[in-house]
């Protein structure tokens, strides 16, 4: 048996719809194993996506600042910071 992993959505009637078509022979019977996320995992995934997007936006802003010369010398950044 060959395994193909993909994502899909279950609609209101309980019908599974795959995000992308399977690249297999047409009219072939398949065995389907559905893995459902637990609610806690769903909430964590949403938080992870928000953190990833926040980090990506922070990087984009930093890159833009660096490319446009909107920077400070390191010595100026460290002014007023007391290291113990």
Is 84 contained in some domain?
no
Which whole number is the average pLDDT over 56-77? 83
Q: What is the pTM of this model?
A: 0.40
In which domain, by residue range, is 67 found?
8-78
DSSP annotation string for the chain: -------EEE-TTS-EEESS---S-TT--------PPPHHHHHHHHHHHHHHHHHHHHHHHHHHHHHHT----HHHHHTTPPP-
Domain count, the chain: 1
pLDDT at 44: 61
Is 2 contained in some domain?
no
pLDDT at 73: 81
């Amino acid at each position: 048996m060959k395994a193909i992993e993909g994502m899909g959505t279950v609609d209101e009637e309980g019908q599974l719809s795959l995000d992308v078509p399977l690249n297999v022979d047409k009219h072939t019977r398949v065995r389907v194993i559905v893995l459902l996320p637990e609610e806690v995992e769903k909430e964590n995934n949403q938080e992870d996506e928000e953190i990833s997007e926040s980090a990506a936006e922070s990087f984009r802003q930093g890159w833009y600042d660096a490319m446009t010369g909107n920077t400070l010398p390191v010595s100026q950044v460290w002014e007023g910071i007391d290291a113990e």
